[in-house]
Structure 1
Amino acid sequence: MTSSQVINKLSSVNNGLAIQPIARIKHPSREGICISMAARHFINDPTHLVNAALHAVTLANPSVALDGPNKIIYRRPAKRGWDVQVSLVSGGGSGHEPSFAAFVGRGLLSAAVAGTIFASPSAEQVRTAVVDRVDGSEGVLVVVMNYTGDVLNFGMAVEKAKASGLRVEMVVVGDDVGVGRKKGGKVGRRGIAGTVLVHKIAGAMAAKGATLEEVRKVASLVSENVVSVGASLSHVHVPGRAPPGPNDSDETLSKGEIEIGMGIHNEPGSHRVRAELPQIVKAMLAQLLDLSDEDRAFLEINAEDNVVLLINNLGGVSVLELGGITAEIATQLKVDYSIEPVRVLTGTYMTSLNGLGFSITLMRVADTGLGSGNSLLELLDAPAEAAGWSATVATETWMEKSDLVRGSRAGGAENIQPSGLKFDVIQARKALISGLDRVIAAEPDVTKYDTLVGDGDCGIGLKRGAESSTLITPSIWSQALQNSVDSLANYTPAQPGDRTLIDTLHPFVITLSRYGDLKRAAKAAREGADSTKGMKASLGRTVYVGGEGWREVPDPGAVGLAAFLEGLAEGS
C-alpha cells in the first residue's frame, strides 16, 4: 500500500480521527483560518537577534569564537597549535538552531556560517570560513543542505578555495521525502534534520585523523542512507516580518489542520490533514518506508537492517509531548514494520524557529568499509564537545541493553506485620463510592473556582483521583485522619484560616473525633469550606494570583474535599 493509499484509506473512515486531505485554496476572508503561529517575540529586530544568538554560542562553549562581520562560529586554535585534522564546515540560514553554530566543537564541525533568518550566507562569508577560519592543511569538507541558494553560494566558495590551492570537497544532503520525485524535479529533495547525522558522523571521522577522502566517503554514505519527513501544526512567524494577511492561505493552517512534509522554511508539504497523532505518524512512516510508492521510495529499509531513529523537535513542542511522540513512532515501527532501532535520538537538533512540529529521520546503518572502530554507530556514539549535541549515551550502554529492573526492597513484603484491624468491606465500599461520586460531580465547580484563584487543574486532578481510587477503612477514619493531620504538620504550615483544604479537613476531624457522627462531621467540613470565601490566602497558588477574584469564590481544594466527605457520609 502506497503512502497515498494509506491516506485515502484513512480518509474513508468517518470519524474525528480520520485523515482528510485538504485542497490548497485561497480563502476569501480570515474566517476558518487559524493564525496559530507566534507573531510575538522578545527580540523583534532580526539582525540583532541573529548576532546576539551567535554571540551566545561562544558563551556556552569557550572553545569556539565568533567572526561577527561574517557570522562565522569557528573552533579556536588549541594552545598546542592547530588541531591537525580534516576541517568540517557547514551552515545555512539562521532559525534552525542548534544547527549549525551550536554544532561547532571537538568531534563535530570546525566552523559554521550563518545567513539571515531562513536565507543562505553569501559566497564570501563561506569562502572566509573555509580559507581563513579553519585549518586547511589536511583538507576541508563542506556539508550543505540541498537548497538552491545554499548550494550555489557554498559551491562558489568551494571553487574559490580550490583556486587558492586548498583541497576542498563538498557533500550536498537531501533527505526530505516530503518532496517526491515528480515535485522535486531537477532540484531534488530538500535537506532537513537528517543532515545533523551527516555532521556528527563525519565530524567524528575527522577527529580520528581520517583523510579527506575517507571523511567525504563517510559523509556521502550517511547522506545516501538517510530519509526524513516532518509534520507541523502551524507555520512559523519570522521576527521583523508582518503576519500573513487574510488571503495568505499558503502561510496559514486552518483549525485542526496538520501539514505533512512541511519544510523548515515554511515551504509547503505533500498535503494537509486532520488527524490525531497515531494517524499522522502512520502517514509519515508510510512516506519513509513504503517501497511501492514510486514517488518516494528513496531508500530501502528492511526489518533485518540496523536502523537509527532520530526524532527532531522543530522548536515548539514540549519535552513532555515529544516523549509521547517518540513512544508512538517507536511502537508503530516495531508493530507495523518489525523495526527496532539500534539507536534512538530524540530532542532538538534542527528547528524551524519555534515550529510547532517534529520530524522523523531513519538512517540505515551501512558498512563504511573502513574497519573496526569506524562503523557508523561507533562514529555516531563518539563524544562531541558542542553545545547543541545532546546525545550522550555511550556505545557500551547501547550494546548492553540491560533488561534488569529494580524490584521491591529485599524482604519488604515479608516484614509487613498485620494490624489486626477489621472492617465491613461492603459498607466501606459503599461509602467510598458515594464520596468519590460526589467529587466527580463537583469537578465543574472546583475547576471554575481554581481557574479564578489558581491554575485551573484542581478539579480535574480531584476527578481523576476519584475515578482511580481504591478502598479505604471507614471504621478507623477518625484515628487515621487525626494521624494524617499530625503528619501533614511536618510538611506544611497550613492551619485553619490559611484558605487551604485544611479549613475543611480540620473541622471534619475534630467533629468526627468528638461525636463519632460522620454526617455531622461532613456538615462541619462543608461549613469550613464555605468559610474560605473571601478569606485571604496565606498559602497555595492563590497567594500569587493578582486581582480580587478570590474574594468571590471559596478555596477549590477545600470545596473538593468537602464534596468527598459529604459523599462518604451519604454512603455510610
Structure 2
Amino acid sequence: MSAKHFINDPTHLVQTALLSIPHTNPSVSCDLANKIIYLRPNGSSSSQVSLVSGGGSGHEPSFASFVGRGLLSGAVAGTIFASPSAEQVRRCILHRVDKEKGVLVIVMNYTGDVLNFGMAVEKARAQGVEVDMVVVGDDTGVGRAQGGKVGRRGIAGTVLVQKIAGALAARGASLKEVSATAQLTADNIVSIGSSLSHVHVPGRSIAEAGDNELKESEVEIGMGIHNEDGSERKTTELPGLVKIMLSSCLDTSDKDRNFLDISRNDEVVLLVNNLGGVSVLELGGITNEVVEQLAKDWKIKPVRILSGTFMTSLNGLGFSISLLKIKNTGLGSGGSMLELLDAPAEASGWSAAVSTETWKNRSSSTIKHEESEDDEISSSNLELDSSRAASALTTALNRLITAEPDITNYDTIVGDGDCGIGLKRGAEAILKMLERSKKTDDALVFLQNIIQVVETTMDGTSGAIYAIFLNALAHGLRQNSPSSPQPINAGIWAKALESSLQALSKYTPAQPGDRTLMDALVPFVKALSKEESIEAAAKAAEEGAQGTKGMKASLGRTVYVGGEGWQGVPDPGAHGLAELLLGLRDGLKE
C-alpha cells in the first residue's frame, strides 16, 4: 500500500474535497458544518421527489459528486470510511432538500449507515415528512453463510440504483413509484470487487506490513470498499481473476453466492468500476477482458457498458464488476430502466456534462444559513403527570448509573468495554435535562425532550438503536393521540411501543436469541401489551436479559470481539436496558 498523501490531515482533506464540488457544478451548494452537498433551489423548476444518499468519505465521486439535476438531491458525508451521524442526515432531509413530494433515502447495507440514516428517517417521519428508504446490498463477495442476518454489503452497484431513481424522480414520478423502482433495481444487481492491496487512510499511523498484507503476486477477491478483507486470496493473472469474479456473480450452482439468475436472454447492464488506484489505461484492458469473457463463457452481451470511476476505496488498487438485470418497471413510455439510465444527469461525478445554461446562471456557491433550524417540538392531546413521570425516570436513570460498573465489566468480557460508559453518559445528560427543562404535562413533548438528549449524547450502535426506537415511539404516540385531551395510559404506551418495535426492525435484524438488547426490549413490549402492567413488563425484561447468559451472539461486536468467560455474563446492552426498566418500575411505585 502507498502511505504517501498530499493532504495528511483527514479532517482537512474531507472538508476541502467537499468545498471543491460547487466549483465544478454551480447547481449545488455545500453545508460544510454538516458535511452536506445539496442541490440549490431553482425557482423555475417544479417540485419533485428528492433523493438523499451518503456514507463515509473515501468513496468519491460517490456520493457528493452525484448531487445534481437528474440524480441526487443531497448527499451526506461522514469522516473517512465512517457513517455520517443521524443529525447530519436529519438536517439534510428536513432543511436541505425539497420535501414537498417526499424524500427517498438510498443507503448501502452497512450497519452504521443503516442505523444512522434510519434514525434520521424516523425523525423526519415524526415531523410529518413522507420518507422512504431503500437499502442496497449487491456484493456477492459475501455469501449467505457469512452474511447471515446482516446480508450482503452495498458496493458499486448502488450507483445504478441512484441513477435510475434520480432520473425517474426528475420526470415527476411519485415517491411510491420512485421507491418501488429503486428497490426493483437494487434487487436485480450483483457485484464483486478485487484488489492488489489494502489502502492507507490519511492521518493513521503506518504499521509495518504483516501477515495480513498481500504478497506481491496475490490478489484479494471480494474485498469491501472500507478496506475489509475479501473472501479469498489467489495468485492469478487478470483472465483467471475475471473468471472467478464473473462466476461469483453468475454461477447458479453456487448456492451460497447465487443471488440472481441471469441468462443469455436477459438484457444486462455492465458496470466496471475503478476502486481508485487503477490507471485509465489499465481499466480499459480490464473492461475489455470482462466483456470478452461475458460473451464467450456466459453468452451475455451487455446492452449498456459503463466503465470508469464511480465508487472508490480511496486509492484502492482494484476494480469491481456489477451486473444489472433489466426488469420491467411497469411505468410505461419513458420509464424503463434503460431509458432512465440513459437520461442526462447534471452531476460532476457522472458522465453527463454540465449545461451551458447552468454555467450562465451560476452564482456564489457559499450560502449563509442564518435562519433557525431547530425543529419545533410537536404537542399532542396525551396528558401525563409531569412530576410523577420525572420522578420515576430519575429513579430509573440513577439505577442505570449505579449499574454502570457491572455493565462495563460485562462489555469488557464480551465487547469493547464502552457500553456502560455510553449508557451512563446518556443517563446523566437526561437527568440534567429534567432539572433544567420547562415542566410539561404533554407526553409527546416530554418524550421529545428526552430524544433530543439521546441523539446528542449517545453515540455508537446502541445510541443509534435507542434514538431510532424513541423517534418511532414519538411517531406512535402521535398516531394514537386522541382528538381531545385525555390522560395517557398503559394501553396507549403499549400500542406506541409495538409500532416503534416494528419500525426498529427495518434497520436491524436483531431479534430475541441474538444476544442483544432486543432480548430485554421485545419481552418488555410484549408483556406490557398483553398485561398493561409495568411490573410484569419489567420482570419480562429482566428475565430476557438474564437469559442471554450462555447465549452465543449472532449480531454485534460480540461476534468477533468476545473473549473468555462470555458464557457466564449477560449481554451488557440487554442488562443495561433491564436495569433501566426495573428502575422505572420502582419509580412508578413510589
Structure 1 residues 391 and 299: CA distance shift in structure 2, 3 A: farther
Candidates 355, 370, 377, aligned match of 2:331:
370
Q: Is the 8 A contact 2:346 2:352 kept in 1?
A: no
Q: Partner amino acid for 1:271?
A: E
C-alpha displacement of 1:147: 0.1
The question of 1:88 aligning with 2:51 is answered yes
Structure 1 residues 77 and 363: CA distance shift in structure 2, 3 A: same
1:106-159 CA deviation, whole Å, 9 max, x = no partner? Answer: 000000000000000000000000000001000000000000000000000000
The question of 1:237 aligning with 2:211 is answered no
Residue aligning to 1:432: none
- 1:115-126 aligned within 5 A: 115-126=78-89
C-alpha displacement of 1:259: 0.2
C-alpha displacement of 1:79: 3.5
Structure with the larger helix share: 2
Matched position secondary structure for 2:33? coil
Q: Is the 8 A contact 2:50 2:104 kept in 1?
A: yes
Candidates 261, 264, 277, aligned match of 2:238:
277
C-alpha displacement of 1:243: 1.9
Matched position secondary structure for 1:358? strand
C-alpha displacement of 1:391: 6.0
Matched position secondary structure for 1:158? helix
- 4+ residue runs over 4 A deviation: none
Residue aligning to 1:301: 262
Residue aligning to 1:447: none
Matched position secondary structure for 1:128? helix
Structure 1 residues 46 and 83: CA distance shift in structure 2, 3 A: farther
Residue aligning to 1:184: 147
Matched position secondary structure for 1:201? helix
Q: Partner amino acid for 2:205?
A: A
Following the alignment from structure 2 to structure 1, what is the Cα–Cα distance between the partners of residues 23 and 148?
43
Residue aligning to 1:225: 188
Following the alignment from structure 2 to structure 1, what is the Cα–Cα distance between the partners of residues 136 and 70?
20
Residue aligning to 1:342: 303
C-alpha displacement of 1:306: 0.2
Candidates 57, 74, 82, aligned match of 2:38:
74
Give TM-score, length-normalised by structure 1: 0.61
Aligned length: 353
C-alpha displacement of 1:390: 1.7
- 1:112-511 aligned within 5 A: 112-247=75-210, 249-250=211-212, 252-390=213-351
C-alpha displacement of 1:45: 0.2
Matched position secondary structure for 1:175? coil
Give TM-score, length-normalised by structure 2: 0.59
Q: Partner amino acid for 2:282?
A: E
Following the alignment from structure 1 to structure 2, what is the Cα–Cα distance between the partners of residues 186 and 242?
34
Q: Is the 8 A contact 2:345 2:352 kept in 1?
A: no
Following the alignment from structure 2 to structure 1, what is the Cα–Cα distance between the partners of residues 207 and 78?
23
Following the alignment from structure 2 to structure 1, what is the Cα–Cα distance between the partners of residues 128 and 259?
37
Residue aligning to 1:4: none
Following the alignment from structure 2 to structure 1, what is the Cα–Cα distance between the partners of residues 222 and 352?
25
Matched position secondary structure for 2:149? coil
Following the alignment from structure 1 to structure 2, what is the Cα–Cα distance between the partners of residues 71 and 58?
13
1:230-250 CA deviation, whole Å, 9 max, x = no partner? Answer: 010110000000123344x33
C-alpha displacement of 1:268: 1.0
Following the alignment from structure 1 to structure 2, what is the Cα–Cα distance between the partners of residues 310 and 243?
33
Following the alignment from structure 1 to structure 2, what is the Cα–Cα distance between the partners of residues 195 and 51?
24
Q: Partner amino acid for 2:331?
A: L
Question: Highest Rg: 1 or 2?
Answer: 1
Structure 1 residues 296 and 391: CA distance shift in structure 2, 3 A: farther
Q: Is the 8 A contact 2:220 2:232 kept in 1?
A: yes
Q: Partner amino acid for 2:189?
A: V
Q: Partner amino acid for 2:18?
A: L
Q: Is the 8 A contact 2:189 2:322 kept in 1?
A: yes
Note the residue ranges of structure 2 that are not aligned, 5 or more in a row. 354-590
RMSD between superposed Cα atoms in Å: 0.9
The question of 1:52 aligning with 2:52 is answered no
Between the aligned residues of both structures, percent identity stands at 69
Q: Is the 8 A contact 2:136 2:154 kept in 1?
A: yes
Following the alignment from structure 2 to structure 1, what is the Cα–Cα distance between the partners of residues 252 and 117?
33
Structure 1 residues 305 and 230: CA distance shift in structure 2, 3 A: same
C-alpha displacement of 1:83: 4.1
Residue aligning to 1:5: none
C-alpha displacement of 1:372: 1.2
C-alpha displacement of 1:254: 1.2
Following the alignment from structure 1 to structure 2, what is the Cα–Cα distance between the partners of residues 180 and 260?
13
Q: Is the 8 A contact 1:347 1:390 kept in 2?
A: no
Q: Is the 8 A contact 1:86 1:141 kept in 2?
A: yes
Matched position secondary structure for 1:237? coil
Following the alignment from structure 1 to structure 2, what is the Cα–Cα distance between the partners of residues 103 and 38?
27
Residue aligning to 1:532: none
1:197-234 CA deviation, whole Å, 9 max, x = no partner? Answer: 00000000000000000000110010000010001011
Q: Is the 8 A contact 1:345 1:391 kept in 2?
A: no
Residue aligning to 1:411: none
Q: Is the 8 A contact 1:231 1:262 kept in 2?
A: yes
Q: Is the 8 A contact 1:93 1:114 kept in 2?
A: yes
Matched position secondary structure for 1:354? coil
Following the alignment from structure 1 to structure 2, what is the Cα–Cα distance between the partners of residues 173 and 244?
33
Structure 1 residues 295 and 154: CA distance shift in structure 2, 3 A: same
Following the alignment from structure 1 to structure 2, what is the Cα–Cα distance between the partners of residues 361 and 306?
14
Q: Partner amino acid for 1:51?
A: Q
Q: Is the 8 A contact 2:239 2:289 kept in 1?
A: yes
Following the alignment from structure 1 to structure 2, what is the Cα–Cα distance between the partners of residues 103 and 95?
14
